[in-house]
Amino acid sequence: MSDPTLLEVTDLVRHFPFREVQGLRMVKANVRAVDGISFTVRQGQTLGLVGESGCGKSTTARLVTRLDTPTSGSILFQGRDITTVKESQLRGIRRDIQMIFQDPYSSLNPRHTVGAILGTPLRVHGLHRGKEKQRVQQLLELVGLNPEHINRYPSEFSGGQRQRIGIARALAVEPKLIIADEPVSALDVSIQAQVMNLLATLRDELDLAFIFVAHDLGVVRHFCDQVAVMYLGKIVEYGDKRKIYEAPEHPYTQALLSAAPDINVARGIPPKERIRLVGDVPSPINPPSGCRFRTRCWKAQEVCATTEPPLVAAENDVALRGAREGGLHRHACHFPEVKTHLVAEVEPA
Amino acid sequence: MSTAFGSPGAQTTAEATHPGDVVLDVVDLTVTFPTEEGQVRAVSNLTYQARLGRTLAIVGESGSGKSVSSMAVLGLHNPKRTTITGSIRLDGQELVGAPRSTFERIRSQKVAMVFQDPQSSLHPFYKVGKQIAEAYRAHHNVSRAVAEKRAVEMLDLVGIPNPQRRAHQYPHEFSGGMRQRAMIALGLVNDPKLLIADEPTTALDVTVQAQILDLINELQKEFGSAVILITHDLAVVAETADDILVMYAGRGVEKGYAKEVLAQPSMPYTYGLLQSLPSHSEDVHELKAIPGSPPSLLKLPSGCSFHPRCSFKDQVPGDACWTQLPEWRPTPGLANRQVRCHLPDPVATLRQDEGIR
Ligand SMILES: Nc1ncnc2c1ncn2[C@@H]1O[C@H](COP(=O)(O)OP(=O)(O)OP(=O)(O)O)[C@@H](O)[C@H]1O
Ligand SMILES: Nc1ncnc2c1ncn2[C@@H]1O[C@H](COP(=O)(O)OP(=O)(O)OP(=O)(O)O)[C@@H](O)[C@H]1O
Ligand code: SF4
Ligand SMILES: [Mg+2]
Ligand SMILES: [Mg+2]
């Protein structure tokens, strides 16, 4: 916990303005993709972002990498405010914060060799001058590819290998923070584990911090130290992985965890309690007042429609959790309540 | 008829009417596509059956032939650019080599398909209710009003709120989860005997996925049809399927009762897949990955297609894994289980490995 804070995000907002015709008038409206979120990432730490499609995970990722500019809020990287720095000043940040994309097919230029793909960032940042080729080969080796394949094109590699190239490219400039947006979901099931293992090894060896976006809750649990659960542009629960998975307090987190199908059913373990949400996620253009989850929440009361619950430290349940060590745990709910056993308990190995 | 994979063709001459009857009987199905680089053998000698009232899950890597084999059942391949051999019998009727008119008749009357992307079967320019009503009228001699009433009932059945109002909306006015429901309503309006759902929830969130899978299960109970569920999510299989067929590189490699196969796999690829899962419950440091990557369908490996990645081939005497394609055979001690693997006693070998790890 004493690792220095790398990234500090406060009240981050990104609205996408658009116009639409309502009746006979043109009205301005906003897609409130990210609507006031705060979190921190320390050196060597991994934060997982989970939540339903469209809740703002990728938008958050793009804001932190500064591929997009926030509407408001602040992003501090190593204490330096990078919220609105201009393109010309972004070079240093581009080096320290790298992104790994979901799609290993479209994120690599098909007309460039692997050598060119990995060599370009080195040249742009003036790294390993005169020794670029050795560095590229070293990078290929680092991600488990054959260094002799430096002259091959992306099409000559399998999906898993291409994702490794994407990872090598991110690592080329020796970043401190890597944003991985669904890095394994486009890969074959049998390949996902290879790539996850690679990311874990690199994280440990290079003391990298990660923001890891994924919809697979199992993968997130395996890889992350902390987890932020998002719903409609807000963080609804945030904390150490064990708190989130083993003693979630926000109804949405509970529903999300309980909805994930569980393979243990095949091993005769009775199906866990299922919370079935009704309806769909409301539109981010016109989100519900108060708590955004209230339209689907089985606990909602009047106050939920009138007052937005702030993200506060969870404390109701300290006694209950007793033995479990303390740590970060926040939720945004008027009626938090611990629910356990939403994911199968750790089995004896 | 106690086994889900009895002898092929056993009771397919008569129409399937009782739970457990074979509706779809696929024998030695092979699908090849000629391409510039050569023959792509997408499906090789595939044999399986689907039965009334049961859900068969077809699982496997991307590109293992899951969709191509199901599309053959529906006659969705371009006959000029596809070679299909073997036999596909739906309710006793042979479909390999059947004319277009046959497929047009069976689609929506006997078989319905739900795709990953609902966009692909809902027409963007017609109101949802009208599309369902027209599909119904195509096979029932009823008035428009009656068909439209039926469409509203179907929308209600699949859990769409305000079905009356929703019937008058266009697909783009529906959310992803609702579109998927509407497509299921469209698929079921003519009470098909077989529903093929190809990754029906992959594009959806877990909470919506759970709703849709529940829905398919409930509807199956109500209609008693056979369901083929194509997915790569083994946890979904564990919770929804009765039977399972595991595919690798265009071939079936293991089949049996779904829960049993997942609890006790007896073919190295199935075993490897299960081992590589970051099971929600375990905080292990390293995932147990299957080394290597799936083979090219242009040039399948000799012998067992899985041998380049298999860590058990050394336990097979001789060089059978390299030279001989394993035939289907029952697994000693496991009822209703068939595998394609040369290991003399796969269960013991894999169990021992699990103990060591
Ligand atoms: N450039 C844009 N213009 C307008 N709206 C946008 C834009 N980018 C994203 N959005 C909207 O912002 C919301 C959040 O999108 P985002 O891509 O961040 O979601 P996500 O959590 O990554 O979802 P998924 O899990 O599907 O990837 C969505 O409603 C999306 O449609
Ligand atoms: N028309 C075609 N021409 C040539 N090759 C094809 C054609 N259609 C499919 N294929 C190939 O056949 C193989 C099997 O494809 P299929 O779509 O059945 O895979 P799948 O198991 O459904 O995979 P996924 O999980 O990715 O959906 C793939 O390698 C695919 O590229
Ligand atoms: S046949 Fe041989 S190579 Fe194939 S799965 Fe069995 S042991 Fe492995
Ligand atoms: Mg996204
Ligand atoms: Mg497919």
Choose one of B46, B59, B67 to mutate for the ligand 2 pocket test, by most ligand atoms within 8 angstroms of C-beta: B67
| Whether the Cβ atoms of residue B66 and residue B230 lie closer than 8 Å to each other | yes
Does residue A281 surpass a pLDDT of 90? no
Choose one of B246, B248, B316 to mutate for the ligand 3 pocket test, by most ligand atoms within 8 angstroms of C-beta: B316
Domains of chain A, by residue range, sit at 253-349
- Cβ A56 under 6 angstroms from ligand 1: yes
| Whether the Cβ atoms of residue A74 and residue A11 lie closer than 8 Å to each other | yes
| Whether the Cβ atoms of residue A179 and residue A59 lie closer than 8 Å to each other | no
**What pLDDT shows up at residue B248?**
96
Establish if B177 touches chain A: CB-CB under 8 angstroms: yes
A276 and B208: CB-CB below 8 Å?
no
User: Which amino acid belongs to residue B265?
Assistant: P
Does residue B22 surpass a pLDDT of 90? yes
pLDDT band at B356 (very low <50, low <70, confident <90, very high): low
Lookup: tokens for B132: 């369902």
Q: Which among B210, B277, B286 has the least Cβ separation from residue A263? A: B277
| CA atoms of B105 and B95, how far apart (whole Å) | 12
Lookup: tokens for B234: 């083994």
Q: What does residue B138 show for φ and ψ, rounded to 5 degrees?
A: -60, -25
Q: How do strand A177-181 and strand A97-100 relate by DSSP bridges?
A: parallel
Residue A23 sits at the vertex; the CA angle it makes with A18 and A29, to the nearest 5 degrees, is 20
Q: What is the mean pLDDT of residues A110-132?
A: 91
Of all protein residues, the one whose alpha carbon is nearest to atom 7 of ligand 3 is B313
Q: Which among B280, B285, B291 has the least Cβ separation from residue A218? A: B280
Q: Which of B207, B212, B213 to mutate to test the interface with A (most CBs of A within 10 A)?
A: B207
Percentage of residues in chain A having pLDDT higher than 90: 53
Residues, chain A: 349
Minimal CA separation from A223 to chain B, in Å: 9
**What pLDDT shows up at residue B284?**
66
Find the B106 Cα to ligand 4 centroid distance in Å. 39
B281 and A280: CB-CB below 8 Å?
no
**Which residues from A are below 8 Å from B269, CB to CB?**
190
In 3-state terms, what secondary structure has residue B88? strand
| CA atoms of B266 and B254, how far apart (whole Å) | 8
User: Which amino acid belongs to residue A21?
Assistant: V
**What pLDDT shows up at residue B357?**
58
| CA atoms of B156 and A270, how far apart (whole Å) | 31
Domains of chain B, by residue range, sit at 21-110+193-291, 122-191
Per residue in A211-270, pLDDT (tens digit) is: 999 888 888 999 999 999 999 999 999 999 988 998 899 999 999 999 888 888 888 887
- Quick one: B325 exposed, middle or buried, by C-beta within 10 A (0-12, 13-18, 19+)? middle
Choose one of B313, B314, B345 to mutate for the ligand 3 pocket test, by most ligand atoms within 8 angstroms of C-beta: B313
Per residue in B339-353, pLDDT (tens digit) is: 999 999 999 999 888
Q: What is the mean pLDDT of residues B253-280?
A: 92
User: Which amino acid belongs to residue B312?
Assistant: F
Looking at the DSSP assignment, which residues form a beta bridge with residue B94? B89
User: Which amino acid belongs to residue A268?
Assistant: G
Mean pLDDT computed over every residue of chain B: 88
Residues 6+ apart with CB under 8 A from A79: none
Per residue in B204-228, pLDDT (tens digit) is: 778 878 888 888 888 888 889 999 9
Please state, as a whole number, how many other Cβ atoms lie within 10 Å of the Cβ of residue A103.
Answer: 16
Specify the residue for token string 């008829």.
Answer: B1
Helix%, strand%, coil% for chain B, nearest 5: 35, 20, 45
Residues 6+ apart with CB under 8 A from B208: A52, A280, B176, B177, B180, B201
Establish if B175 touches chain A: CB-CB under 8 angstroms: yes
| CA atoms of A170 and A315, how far apart (whole Å) | 39
Q: What is the mean pLDDT of residues A115-132?
A: 91
**What pLDDT shows up at residue B345?**
92
- The CATH number for B21-110+193-291, chosen from 3.40.50.300, 3.30.750.200, 3.40.50.720, 3.40.50.12280, is 3.40.50.300
**What pLDDT shows up at residue A249?**
93
User: Which amino acid belongs to residue B232?
Assistant: H
Whole-model pTM?
Answer: 0.88
Per residue in B162-211, pLDDT (tens digit) is: 899 999 999 888 877 788 888 888 888 888 999 999 988 776 778 878 88
Interface of B with A in 130-149 (CB under 8 A): none
**What pLDDT shows up at residue A344?**
59
Which residues does ligand 3 sit against, CB inside 6 Å? B 267-268, 304, 306-307, 310, 312-313, 316, 321, 326, 341-343
| CA atoms of B242 and B258, how far apart (whole Å) | 5
- Give the closest ligand to the alpha carbon of residue B37: 2
**What pLDDT shows up at residue B7?**
45
- Helix (H) or strand (E) run with residue B83 in it: strand B83-90
Per residue in A173-225, pLDDT (tens digit) is: 999 999 999 888 877 788 888 889 989 998 999 999 999 998 888 889 999 99
For ligand 5, an ion, list residues with CB under 5 A: B 67
Lookup: tokens for A2: 């004493």
**What pLDDT shows up at residue B6?**
44
So what's the ipTM on this one? 0.82
From A194, which residue of chain B is nearest by alpha-carbon distance?
Answer: B289
